[in-house]
Each structure stands twice: as C-alpha cells, then as structure tokens.
Amino acid sequence: MNDAPALSDHPVDAARPGLQRRRVLFLNSAGVRFAAIYTGLLAISAGALAMFLWWATAGLLDRQVEAAIRTDAQGLAQRWEEGGVAALVLAIEDRLAGNVDDDAIYLLVDPRMQPVAGNLSRWPAAVQRTDGWYELQVQRAGVRSLAQVHRYDLLNGYHLLVGRDVRNRAQLRDLLTDALLWAMLVVAVMATAGGLIVRSLFRRTLANVSATASAIAAGDFAQRVKLSGRGDEFDQLAETINDMLDRIARLMDGVRQVSNAIAHDLRTPITRARTRLEDAAIHAETPEELRAAIERAIADLDDIVAVFHALLRIAEIEAGSRRSAFKQIDLAPLLGVVAELYEAVAEEKEVRLLLEAPPHLPAYGDRELVQQAVANLVDNAVKFSPSGNCVGIRGEARPTGVAIVVTDHGPGIPEIDRSRATERFFRGESARSTPGAGLGLALVQAVAQLHGGELRLGDAGPGLEARLLLPASERAAHA
C-alpha cells in the first residue's frame, strides 16, 4: 500500500519548519544588508575621488586655457586702443609668429565679416555671442582641430576671435574618462567581492555565536563562544556572552546546590516533625501530651519555614533584582542600630560589644540588605564568642570603599573551611552544637556580591575576622 512512503515523508515534514526558520530570505539577511552598505559606501567614495581627479586635471586645464585667452584678449584690446586696426593686425601677426606651440588662434574681421588678420580662414558661424565660451571644430592649415574660442566685439564694427587649440586637452580628457570608467568597473567588482566577504565574515562570526547558543539550548552548558584572539568588537561580544553564560552556569550550580541541600538538610527537621506527630497520634494518652507534641512539631515546621525564607531571600539577592533599591547610605548609624540590637543579647552572654566607627561612613547600596548582612555577622560573632570576651564591630572608610570588620574570639573557622563557609548549609565542626542552618554567611556573601563588594574571612587569632567590603559611591560600585 501507500503507507510506507507516507510514513517516511512524515519526519521530513516535521523537520521542515525548523529548516525554513533557519534559511533567512536573501534580502532579509543582515549580512547582505551590511554588504550592500559596504558596496554603496565604496562606490560613493570612489565616485567622489573620480570627481575630484576630474576637477583637478581636466578642469584645471580648462581654467588655464580660459585664463590665457582672457589675458591675450586684454593685451590685444590695449593695442587696439593705442593704434587702431593697424596696430592690432601687427600685434596678431607678431603673436602668431612668436607662438612656439602653434596653439594660438586669432581672427580679426571687418564689419562685413571679412578676415583682416589671423590664422582662421573664415568666421565660424556658431560664434554669435560675446558672453560665453565656444568649443568648436576648426580648419587650420588644412588640419581639423578642436578649439576653445571667445568673441570680442570692437568699435567700428570689427570683431575679434581669440582662442586656443585644445586638441591635446580633449585627448587627455578622453584618457581620463576612460581611466575613470575602468576604475568604476574595478570598484564595482571590488565592492561586490568585498560585500560578499563582509557577508561571509558576518555569517561566520554569527554562526559561531549561534552554534554556541543552540548547543546550550540543547543542554550542553559547557559550550562557550570561541574567541578569535584579535580583541575586536566580535571578541568583546563573545566575551560578554561568555561572561553571561558563566553567570548563568553559576546560578544553575547554585540552584542545583540548593536543591541538593534542601533534599538533604531539610529532610532532618521534616522527619523530626513528622515523627513527633505520628508518635503523638499513636502514643499520646492525654490531650495535654497531644497538644505538647503538636506544638513542638509546629516549632519544627517554623524552623523549616525560616530556612526556606532565608534560602529564598538569598536567591532573591543573587538574582540581583534588589539593585533598584540602591542609594547613597550612611553606615555609621546603621552599625549603631545593629550594635544596639545585639548589645542586650551580648550582655546576657557576658560578651562586650565594641563599636568603632567614624561619625559618617558613606556607602552605596541597599540599606536593608547591608543591615541584615551586618546583623548576621554580629549574630554569628555573639553566638560563637565565649563569655567574658569581646566582639568588635569596626567601620572603616578606605580609598577603595568601605570595610565593616566584625571580630570575635571564638573557635574561628579553620583555613581549609573558609572558602566553603559561605556556601549554603555549610556548618563547620565547631558550629555543629550551636543553633542555625548555616545560611547566615551565605546571605552576607550574596549581599557582598550584589554590591560588587567582597566578604573576606580571616583569623582573629584566636577567632574569626569577617571583613565585608562595600563600595563607597555609585561610581565605585560600577567601576
């Protein structure tokens, strides 16, 4: 039956829309457009060059001839004024005799248009007016030639024709015209070739980007746009795209890490809550016991909610959407409020809080987030500080920005753990016994990164020194 071909057609049909989408119409191609622009620009500039050449050579010759004729005529007019027809005739003959190049043309005619002197046999019929230039064929000593002439009317009805033989100039003009036409042709060929090259370059560069994008769309996240190494605009674009891809990859890693962490770290409290409820449902004998179990389970759930809340908040900060709330802030009062908030807790633990800050500490950022970050650092410091010790909160203005340094003299974080301490859910050995989910430093790190700053963990010998670096001004933040 006909079933087989129909079946084999099917995949082809399915693939066709994709192909059509990829085959860009010739005229819609940006490459063609760029090539056309390139060709057009080349043609225009070549044309402009040709015009200039023309004007500079042929035009110059024209102007020189005209100037010579004018000077000639002026001289002759002077002779006419001095000595009348006789002097003029003499002058013309003189000039013709002295004309080495044999290119001068003179003709003096009487009122009846009969030649009186000069090297033309008769007055050319075309020359009627005195206010323009004529270019005409003349018969001179039996040879046809091209002449540029001007007519001057003298008193008593005499007319004078002064001109120059421009045969050579005409030849030069022909030569130039030919050369320019050939040049235009070459330009056209080169422009087309160049256009095609531009188009294919354009295509190849885009193909690189689009191949990378398709590979990533297909799931291969390791792909990056290849750099040509020339450091040109396309390389800059490729670098920008690669940076973007790196950031996306980092975010995806973050998401993966968080989902793993949720799976592992939230399982424990959820299990605990569930066990409590099930245990109470089976074993509770009095309403009081039941109520107590339920309340403990609610407390467990509240802890889980708090962890979720912290996770979402970190994700929100990392997504960078909070940058809209950035403005110039003063960290000095902010540190004061945080210190005051924790002072009571610290005092109860017999820990002294030492706040050290200049009267004004300008910074650029989101007040609420910075406040939360500082609060987290102080919270940690107070939590891990042994009683009888002190926790230092120091604000410093530096040329590079603002530093908030929180130090405690607790167990600190061993060097090998420091780089991991800002990961979500990371809890050091010494932190196992204290309450917390291991999200505090992750949030501080996220806040620091959002501000283009940094969180550095160091040794306070003994203890932890957490240094939060923030930009001092908007300009520093974008630098």
**Nearer residue to another protein within complex by CB, 111 or 320:** 320
Distance CA 342, CA 346 (A): 6
Q: Exactly one of 383, 409, 424, 451 binds another protein (CB under 8 A); which one?
A: 383
Which range binds another protein by CB under 8 A, 47-55, 66-74, 101-109, 372-380? 372-380
| Cα-based angle 38, 44, 50 (whole degrees, multiple of 5) | 135
Tell me the Ramachandran region of residue 148: left when phi exceeds 0, alpha when psi lies from -120 to 50, beta otherwise. beta
The footprint of another protein on this chain (CB under 8 A) covers a number of residues equal to 30
**Nearer residue to another protein within complex by CB, 140 or 272:** 272
Which range binds another protein by CB under 8 A, 44-52, 156-164, 189-197, 378-386? 378-386
**Nearer residue to another protein within complex by CB, 150 or 276:** 276
Give Cα separations from 71 to 127, 132, 150 (angstroms).
20, 16, 12
Give Cα separations from 110 to 55, 114, 260 (angstroms).
39, 5, 116
368 binds another protein (CB under 8 A): yes
Distance CA 78, CA 75 (A): 5
Which range binds another protein by CB under 8 A, 26-34, 39-47, 370-378, 394-402? 370-378
Q: What is the DSSP string of 232-261?
A: SHHHHHHHHHHHHHHHHHHHHHHHHHHHHH
Give Cα separations from 132 to 146, 191, 348, 458 (angstroms).
17, 41, 112, 95
Report DSSP state, residue 26: G
Instruction: Kindly state the smallest distance separating residue 374's Cβ from another protein, in Å.
Output: 11
Which range binds another protein by CB under 8 A, 14-22, 375-383, 400-408, 453-461? 375-383
Distance CA 375, CA 341 (A): 9
255 binds another protein (CB under 8 A): no
The H-assigned helical ranges of 266-286 are: 267-283
**Nearer residue to another protein within complex by CB, 141 or 344:** 344
Which range binds another protein by CB under 8 A, 26-34, 233-241, 285-293, 371-379? 371-379
321 binds another protein (CB under 8 A): yes
375 binds another protein (CB under 8 A): yes
**Nearer residue to another protein within complex by CB, 69 or 293:** 293
251 binds another protein (CB under 8 A): no
287 binds another protein (CB under 8 A): no
**Nearer residue to another protein within complex by CB, 172 or 345:** 345
Q: Exactly one of 212, 371, 422, 445 binds another protein (CB under 8 A); which one?
A: 371
Q: Exactly one of 256, 309, 360, 420 binds another protein (CB under 8 A); which one?
A: 309
440 binds another protein (CB under 8 A): yes
- Determine the residue type at 424: R
Closest by CA position to 159, among listed 205, 208, 124, 200: 124
Q: Exactly one of 178, 340, 356, 415 binds another protein (CB under 8 A); which one?
A: 340
Closest by CA position to 259, among listed 213, 308, 292: 308
51 binds another protein (CB under 8 A): no
Instruction: Kindly state the smallest distance separating residue 457's Cβ from another protein, in Å.
Output: 19
Sign of the torsion angle spanned by Cα atoms 44, 46, 48, 54: negative
| Cα-based angle 407, 411, 412 (whole degrees, multiple of 5) | 50
466 and 477 in contact (C-beta within 8 Å)?
no
Name the helix (H) or strand (E) containing 118. strand 115-118
312 binds another protein (CB under 8 A): yes
Residues 158-217 that bind another protein (CB under 8 A): none
- Report the first-to-last Cα separation within the chain, whole angstroms: 72
Sign of the torsion angle spanned by Cα atoms 378, 379, 384, 386: positive
Q: Exactly one of 209, 290, 345, 390 binds another protein (CB under 8 A); which one?
A: 345
| Cα-based angle 190, 193, 196 (whole degrees, multiple of 5) | 145
Beta bridge partners of 147: 136, 165
Which range binds another protein by CB under 8 A, 73-81, 111-119, 343-351, 470-478? 343-351
Distance CA 479, CA 413 (A): 32
**Nearer residue to another protein within complex by CB, 73 or 304:** 304
348 binds another protein (CB under 8 A): yes
**Nearer residue to another protein within complex by CB, 185 or 325:** 325
Which range binds another protein by CB under 8 A, 231-239, 242-250, 353-361, 435-443? 435-443
**Nearer residue to another protein within complex by CB, 147 or 381:** 381
Q: What are 343's two structure tokens?
A: 């002072």
Q: Exactly one of 372, 385, 407, 422 binds another protein (CB under 8 A); which one?
A: 372
438 binds another protein (CB under 8 A): no
Instruction: Kindly state the smallest distance separating residue 340's Cβ from another protein, in Å.
Output: 6
Instruction: Kindly state the smallest distance separating residue 282's Cβ from another protein, in Å.
Output: 24
Q: Which residues bind another protein (CB under 8 A)?
A: 295, 301-302, 305-306, 309, 312-313, 316, 321-322, 325, 337, 340-342, 344-345, 347-348, 368, 371-372, 375, 379, 382-383, 435-436, 440
